[in-house]
Structure 1
Amino acid sequence: MFKKGFIYIGLLAIFLFVVTGCGSAPGSKAGLIEGKVNVVTSFYPLYDFTRNIGGEYVNVINLVPAGVEPHDWSPKSRDIKNMNNAQVFVYQGAGFEGWVGDFLQTIPKDSSLKVVEASQGSDLIKTSDSKEAYDPHAWLSPLNAVKMANNIKNALIAADPAHKDAFEQNYQAYAAKLKDLDVRYRTELAKTSKKEIAVSHQAFAYMCRDYGLTQLAIMGLSPEAEPTAQDLKNMNQYIKEHQLKYIFFEELVSDKLAKTLAKDANVDTMVLNPLEGLTAEQEKAGKDYISIMDDNLKNLVKALQ
């Protein structure tokens, strides 16, 4: 037990080093384009949804650059300028973007900017610590993603009524793909013998709710939440109790803590992507929301055998 105490303290030291070593990256360099509906989105999934629905009539600017974790990102002056000059601004809501409230208060009353809270109308999960707080990671439910995409579609139509039919058709086609993704998840995860997952970031409550899984996370709703020694001990016990073979980590946050804990528990690590952003490599390879969600499904099926 004495030795274990040192292990957990050591893991906490690694975590603190990882968090304090994280720097911030510059904002988006993309610009507005005349003749198109300019849409600024707060992070990657909203960018991908908008791009699919808007097609050729829309110029989409994603605020958070590739490789940057969005929870604690905040806009720079040029980002704010793009938001003010765009026709549509799309953000997640449900407490995900801490900076949005301040920005919304600066919008002039006579502004024509259409503001979309994408998560509005989604089946949100309340957090245990407050009746007024929600888990913001709603996009990790493909059926919530359908609702979010519909909110975006309605805003595009309001901004550009002349292309309503195109936006409707694009939305219907994309919504069908999202519903097919949901079917794949339901079908494949129903076959697995295990239903428990160990994750570094408590981002997968919607996925767990929709598909009958249970998650235990090293960290909380923010990937930079600090775990206690008891949290790490609980994770070790959870892994042993459920005979898990993997701890899942995400690519936009250092995997050192997950790998150290995995080594202590004698298990391996594997990626489960919360889709808060793409790496530069994923962007170059043409990855998107659906392809990464399919990658997640493959890894889940492997881990839950």
Structure 2
Amino acid sequence: MKYMRVWAIALGMCLGISMVCGANNSIEVKKVAPNSPESKPLVLVSVPPLVQIVRAIAGDSVEVQSIVPAEVSPETYEPKPAQAHLFTKALAFVGVGMEYEHVLQERLGARLWEASLESSHAHPLKSTTKSTSKTPKSTTMIYYNLAASQALKPLLTNTAQKAHRESTTPHLDSQVDSHTSTLTHSHEHENHDPHIWLSLDFATINAREIYALLCAILPAHKPLYTRNLAEFLARIESLQQEFASMLASKKGGAFLVIHPAFGYLAREFELEEIALEENGKELGLKALSQLHERLEQKQVRTLFVQPQFDKGRARALADILGLEIDILDPLQEDWEGIMRAFLHKIAKSIPNNN
């Protein structure tokens, strides 16, 4: 990654900051008084949709920024040197386990914390720390990987194993490993699909985890966060009911995407996501020919593409397969808008099963 070395140097120079890295570390949290000059601290997130989720709970008590712009794929993103100063100002960085998050940890070494909650959402961060006496607590930033939380990680493992067993995606000319689209990103031999914000079931867990994190670092705002969490969970429940109603007659149906991002949501409502990309690579000609028959069987007429990917290649694949093109964008800050767009477009594209 061409920017990473420069990025690490830039971060090290900004304010002379010193942070600490480790897998699932317990940490001592810097707490901020609500009426102090730091009353609106910065919270960074790794993908744009987390901006709305954090704001839904935090309200105006924090500023929220995404490291990755909405128009760029987080799978290929490299943080820019100009962004280094954000990490010197941020109180927390909330991630989903994207590869660039892991690369940041590896490259920054002694500059980044990783936090873990004692349990899913009821407890604050642990009060012990593995830092040295040279670590200035006033500059400590928390990295919290939602995908590694104690509440979500077991579910991701179970989902990945189930997807592996049930995979119907044509393999790359039958020459690749049989891992499905949910197994496209790995870190320390642990595979998971990082698109955890595109799941209504996981949204409830993620909201509770973010709530616990905010309460731990800004405890004076807990009453606000508690009210906001309840309201946001109600909105998620309403979305779940809306999805269940509109997709009840679509069970067993399939939709086609280039990049596998909606697998969690598809499984929640008994749909099938078919992808033209596997393990970060496009399907070969043999796999494409096998796929055509599958699409005819499932009456798939639309190829859904993400605007962050090559539009020319998408058009070429659609022409080869005789399909129309439509847009599904999972990377806008409007998380609820993303989910509703998915619902209406996918429901429209799948024929009723009765």
Query: Scaled by the length of structure 2, what TM-score is found?
Result: 0.68
Q: Is 1:160 matched up with 2:194?
A: no
Contact 2:252 2:272 in 1 (8 A): no
Question: Deviation above 3 Å: which 4+ runs of structure 1?
Answer: 94-98, 127-131
Instruction: Give the SS at the match of 1:297.
Output: helix
User: What per-residue deviation string (whole Å, max 9, x for no partner) do you get for residues 210-256 of structure 1?
Assistant: 0001121101254xx23322232233222122222211111211233
Matching residue within 95, 98, 116 for 1:91? 95
Matching residue within 113, 137, 143 for 2:195? 137
Matching residue within 343, 347, 350 for 1:297? 343
Structure 2: distance between partners of 1:37 and 1:161: 13
Contact 2:255 2:274 in 1 (8 A): yes
Aligned residues: 262
- Once the 2 structures are TM-superposed, how far is the Cα of residue 36 of structure 1 from its aligned partner? 1.0
User: What per-residue deviation string (whole Å, max 9, x for no partner) do you get for residues 104-143 of structure 1?
Assistant: 6332633432321122222213264477311211211112
Correspondence for 2:128: none
Q: Is 1:147 matched up with 2:181?
A: no
Correspondence for 1:214: 272
Instruction: Give the SS at the match of 1:40.
Output: strand
User: What per-residue deviation string (whole Å, max 9, x for no partner) do you get for residues 41-90 of structure 1?
Assistant: 11112222112111111011211123111111122233233123311111
Describe how 1:92-241 pairs up with structure 2 within 5 A: 92-93=96-97, 97-102=101-106, 105-107=109-111, 109=131, 110=135, 111=137, 112-119=140-147, 120=149, 121-122=151-152, 123-124=155-156, 125-126=159-160, 128=164, 129=179, 132-192=190-250, 195-220=253-278, 222=280, 225-241=281-297
Contact 1:93 1:136 in 2 (8 A): yes
- Once the 2 structures are TM-superposed, how far is the Cα of residue 149 of structure 1 from its aligned partner? 1.6
- Once the 2 structures are TM-superposed, how far is the Cα of residue 195 of structure 1 from its aligned partner? 0.8
Further displaced range: 34-43 or 118-127 = 118-127
Answer with 1 or 2: which has the greater Rg: 2
User: What per-residue deviation string (whole Å, max 9, x for no partner) do you get for residues 251-284 of structure 1?
Assistant: 21123333222223322122233x1x23xxxxxx
Contact 2:94 2:143 in 1 (8 A): yes
User: What per-residue deviation string (whole Å, max 9, x for no partner) do you get for residues 178-203 of structure 1?
Assistant: 12112211111112276111111111
Correspondence for 2:300: 244
Correspondence for 1:73: 77
Structure 2: distance between partners of 1:35 and 1:272: 37
Instruction: Give the SS at the match of 1:87.
Output: strand
- Once the 2 structures are TM-superposed, how far is the Cα of residue 98 of structure 1 from its aligned partner? 4.1
Further displaced range: 185-194 or 61-70 = 185-194
Aligned pair in 2 of structure 1 residues 133, 198: CA closer, same or farther (>3 Å)? same
Aligned pair in 2 of structure 1 residues 193, 142: CA closer, same or farther (>3 Å)? closer
Structure 2: distance between partners of 1:230 and 1:182: 38
Structure 1: distance between partners of 2:272 and 2:349: 13
Q: Is 1:262 matched up with 2:266?
A: no
Instruction: Give the SS at the match of 1:139.
Output: coil
Structure 1: distance between partners of 2:101 and 2:279: 13
Query: Scaled by the length of structure 1, what TM-score is found?
Result: 0.78
Structure 2: distance between partners of 1:115 and 1:67: 24
Structure 2: distance between partners of 1:100 and 1:198: 33
Matched-pair identity in %: 26
Which letter maps to 1:243? Q
Correspondence for 1:51: 55
Describe how 1:18-33 pairs up with structure 2 within 5 A: none
Which letter maps to 2:253? K
Contact 2:250 2:271 in 1 (8 A): no
- Once the 2 structures are TM-superposed, how far is the Cα of residue 99 of structure 1 from its aligned partner? 2.3
Contact 2:71 2:308 in 1 (8 A): yes
Which letter maps to 1:216? I
